[in-house]
């Protein structure tokens, strides 16, 4: 089963990552100064994940596809890993759409 992990980063900020049932990291957040903000980010991912229009499909400088998930205010709430192909990235988006809305939240702080 998929899960969101809330964890502190090395600079003392709070982050979340969405892990698929196989443990693969499929979405990661930026740092939040407060845990409450991080939890709000998780709720925003759960709410926005099913909507394909919220996904921004991008390509890194090295040519690797990746995506951002955006909230209703157009702010980025999560970024994917770099993928080897566009089809792999699309599979990642489908995984977020499927897994995020019902994923449990695990607090590692």
- Residue 19: what pLDDT? 96
- Residue 58: what pLDDT? 98
% residues pLDDT > 90 (the chain) = 95
Report the C-alpha gap between 1 and 17 in whole angstroms. Answer: 14
Helices in 34-107 by DSSP H: which ranges? Answer: 35-48, 86-99
* Residue 14 pLDDT grade (very low, low, confident, very high; cuts 50, 70, 90): very high
Beta-carbon count within 10 A of 53 CB: 7
Query: For 78-102, what is each residue's pLDDT tens digit?
Result: 999 999 999 999 999 999 999 999 9
Query: For 43-84, what is each residue's pLDDT tens digit?
Result: 999 999 999 999 999 999 999 999 999 999 999 999 999 999
- Residue 59: what pLDDT? 97
The domains located in the chain, with CATH, are 3-107 (2.30.29.80)
Which neighbouring-strand residues pair with 28? 17, 79
Distance in angstroms between the alpha carbons of the first and the last residue of the chain: 21
Find the radius of gyration of the CA atoms of the chain.
Answer: 13
């Amino acid at each position: 089963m998929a899960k969101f992990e809330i964890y502190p980063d090395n600079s003392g900020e709070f982050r979340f990552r969405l892990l698929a049932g196989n443990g693969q990291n499929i979405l990661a957040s930026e740092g939040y100064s407060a845990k409450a903000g991080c939890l709000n980010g998780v709720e925003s991912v759960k709410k926005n994940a099913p909507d394909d229009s919220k996904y921004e499909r991008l390509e890194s400088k090295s040519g690797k596809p990746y995506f951002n998930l955006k909230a209703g205010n157009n702010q980025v709430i999560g970024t994917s890993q770099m993928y080897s192909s566009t089809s792999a990235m699309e599979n990642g988006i489908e995984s977020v759409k499927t897994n995020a809305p019902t994923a449990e939240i695990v607090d590692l702080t």
